[in-house]
């Protein structure tokens, strides 16, 4: 598969309100090939979300280069869509109107964008709630709507920042299964941020482990367990245990 994402020597420094510099990400080198499902795994404060925001063009790198599809990222680009933990649905719009919002920003004619939005809403199982308001939906349903909105623009890349972190355990697993089902259909490239070891092993074709701040890549390896994965499988449990051991060692080194 061709390389689609590249971070070369990337560091990010934030300046606090008091003028103090905080090194969030330090000399990160990552490549992602097309159709991979890559999980960025690490503790809170390891720079995972910062990396995602740099890839999506929402914040610039301080040093190094961020490239997507061979072009340096300097602003948000049309080939990527982002899904956040807080859903970010517009409360005054219906589900289908929220899903159509990105198409509206791209000046897609109304009839066409609503057709696409209805297709996406049906695909994520929300057809009977197409005209409902976000407050009428459960958390899992709102996240389905957010994923439908991200998919409506036909992105080549999905950037997902702990999208299931606020859900209960049952709904979280249900959403993981639905996301995998969607991914297996068209194999869009996914970069998925999580601090859950089990979630990373359940979803990813590849896991990149980040250290605590400043975030550095400490491990990068494929997940060769075939889909569908079960937490009761020996290989699944061993990988979870190995990753937990790695993260615990990092915690004690601090």
pLDDT of residue 28: 98
Last residue of a domain, one of 155, 180, 212: 155
pTM, to two decimals: 0.92
**Same domain as 126, residue 23:** no
CA atoms within 13 A on the CB side of 37: 22
pLDDT of residue 81: 93
**Same domain as 97, residue 51:** no
Does residue 84 lie within any of the structural domains?
no
**Same domain as 206, residue 246:** yes
pLDDT of residue 7: 98
pLDDT of residue 252: 65
**Same domain as 223, residue 97:** no
**Same domain as 240, residue 137:** no
**Same domain as 161, residue 244:** yes
The secondary element (H helix, E strand) that includes residue 114 is: helix 110-123
The pLDDT averaged over each successive group of 10 residues in the chain (254 residues) is 94 89 96 97 91 95 96 91 87 96 93 95 93 94 92 93 88 90 92 96 97 93 95 95 89 64
Does residue 233 lie within any of the structural domains?
yes
**Same domain as 119, residue 243:** no
Query: Within 124-232, where are the H helices?
Result: 139-152, 169-186, 197-203
**Same domain as 161, residue 70:** yes
Task: For strands 189-194 and 157-161, give the pairing.
Answer: parallel
Please give the tally of structural domains in the chain.
Answer: 2
Task: Name the token pair of 32.
Answer: 């992602």
- Residues of the domain holding 99: 89-155
């Amino acid at each position: 598969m061709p390389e689609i994402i590249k971070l070369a020597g990337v560091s990010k420094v934030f300046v606090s309100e008091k003028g103090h510099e905080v090194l969030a990400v330090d000399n990160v080198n990552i490549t992602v090939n097309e159709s991979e499902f890559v999980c960025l795994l690490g503790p809170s404060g390891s720079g995972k979300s910062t990396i995602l925001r740099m890839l999506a063009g929402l914040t610039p790198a301080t040093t190094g280069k961020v490239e997507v599809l061979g072009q340096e990222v300097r602003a948000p680009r049309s080939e990527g869509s982002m899904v956040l933990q807080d859903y970010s649905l517009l409360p005054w719009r219906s589900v289908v109107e929220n899903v159509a919002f990105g198409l509206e920003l791209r000046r897609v004619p109304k009839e066409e964008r609503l057709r696409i939005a209805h297709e996406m809403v049906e695909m994520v199982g929300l057809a009977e709630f197409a005209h409902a308001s976000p407050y009428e939906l459960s958390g899992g349903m709102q996240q389905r709507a957010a994923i439908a909105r991200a998919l409506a623009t036909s992105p080549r890349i999905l950037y997902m920042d702990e999208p299931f972190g606020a859900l209960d355990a049952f709904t979280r697993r249900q959403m993981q299964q639905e996301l995998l089902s969607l991914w297996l259909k068209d194999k869009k490239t996914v970069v998925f941020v999580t601090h859950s070891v089990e979630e990373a092993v359940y979803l990813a074709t590849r896991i990149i482990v980040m250290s605590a701040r400043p975030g550095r890549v400490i491990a990068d390896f494929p997940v060769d367990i075939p889909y569908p994965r079960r937490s009761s499988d020996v290989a699944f449990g061993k990988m979870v245990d190995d990753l937990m051991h790695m993260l615990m060692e990092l915690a004690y080194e601090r």
